[in-house]
Structure 1
Amino acid sequence: MQQPVRIAPSILSADFARLGEEIRALEAAGADYIHIDVMDGHFVPNITVGPMVVKALRPHTRLTFDVHLMISPVDPMLDAFAEAGADILTVHPEAGPHVHRTIQRIKALGLRAGASLNPGTPAKMLDYILEELDLVLVMSVNPGFGGQSFIDSQLRKIEALRKSIDKTGKTIDLEVDGGIDAVTATRAIAAGADVLVAGTATFKGGDYAANIARLRGN
C-alpha cells in the first residue's frame, strides 16, 4: 500500500561550504530523509562524498540518512558507510557480482537496504530480491549529475513496481530521484511513488519549507 509522501532533499544541491547548517535547515523545513548521493567517478561520471563526510554530518540531525551508493565495486564500502551513520544504503544491481549477497550484508549491518534502477534497467531485475528490500529507488534521470530533466518512460516503471510491491504485502519505500519538481512530483506520486528525492527543487530560491510543501502537493 502506498504510504504518505515523504521528501528526501538531495544535498548534492546544497551549499557544500556549510553542509551541517544546510542539513539543520532542511530538518526545520520539514524534510523526512536526507538523501546523500555518493559517486565514485567510475560507476557514474562525477565524484562527490565519502564516509568521512557522512560521519561529519551525522551529529547535525536525527533525520534518516538515505545514502545512495553510485559506486562500483560497492561491497567493500558497505561497512564504512554503516559506521559513518547511514540508515539506508541503496545499491545498484550492476555495482557488484551478487546483489542478493550485498543486500544481506546491508541487513546484517543493521541498516535498511535499497536497490536502485537506472533508466535503462528493467523493473524485473528486482523480481527475486524485492521481498528482501526496504526501499526501491527509480532513477528518472541517468545518474551522475544534478539538474537533469525527468524521463517520462520511468512513470511506467514506477507503476509496475507499485503493483509488485503491493503484492508482497510488505512496507517498501518506492522512491524516485531525478528531475523532480512540483509538476513531475505530482505525476510520480500518481504513478505510485511515496518518497521523492529533490535537489534543485528543494534548494531553489532559499525557502526550503515552501519548496518541500510544494513537492508534497500542499
Structure 2
Amino acid sequence: MLFDRHRPHAFRERRVEPAAAQAVAAAEEAAVLRRATRAPGLRAWAVHLAHDRMRVVTVEAWNSADAFRQDPDAREPGVGLFAWVATGGRKPTPVDDPEAGVIVIDTFPVWRPLVRPVSLFNARNGEGFNRQPGCVSTTVMRGLGVGRIATYARWRTVADFTAAFTATTGHPVDSTDAINEAAARMTAGLIRTDYHAYDLVAFQGERS
C-alpha cells in the first residue's frame, strides 16, 4: 500500500526529453532505493513514467514530515510534500494493481492561501468524476508548506477520463493536454492542471 491518509506523501517530478526518459526512470528508481536504505521513515514508494515520456514522477509515503525533511534529497528541486485530503472510489487508491486501469497524475501550483480551499473544491468536484463510468479511484492531496495540489487517480482508460471531463464540464476534450488547456480557460488561468497518463515503472509497498 502506498496511500495512507495519516502520512505525508512526497511527489518528485522530473521533466525529461523522450530519448532520455527510460534512463531517467531507472536513475529515479535507483535514487529512491538509496533513500529507502538510509531512511527508515520512508515506508513505501512508486516510480512512474508518462506515456508521452516527458515526465518521471516518484511518489513516496513517509512516517512524518520531519522524517522526510531530515533526508538530504528533500531539498532537491521538483519535490513537494503533501497531505491527504480525500479519496473517492476504491480506497486506498491502488498503485500496483494491473487490473485497475491507467494511472493519471496531476500536480499543479496554486497561490498558497488558496491551497486548502482549492484542494477541498477538487475533492468535492471529484465526487462527480468518481461517479462517471471508468473511474476506479482518485486521491486528492494539498501541499505542506508549498502552494501545490496533487491528484493520483486510476481510470479504466484515458478515453474514460476525457469522456468524464467532457460530461461533467461540458467542454469536449480528447486528451489530457486538452483537459489542461480547458481547465486553464475555465478558471481564467487561476488553475493550470498538469494531468498526464503514466505507466508504473517500480513499486515498493509498506515495509515492516
With the shorter chain as reference, the TM-score category is 0.3 to 0.5
- What is the TM-score when the length of structure 2 is the normalising length? 0.33
- What is the TM-score when the length of structure 1 is the normalising length? 0.32
Which structure has the highest helix share of the two? 1
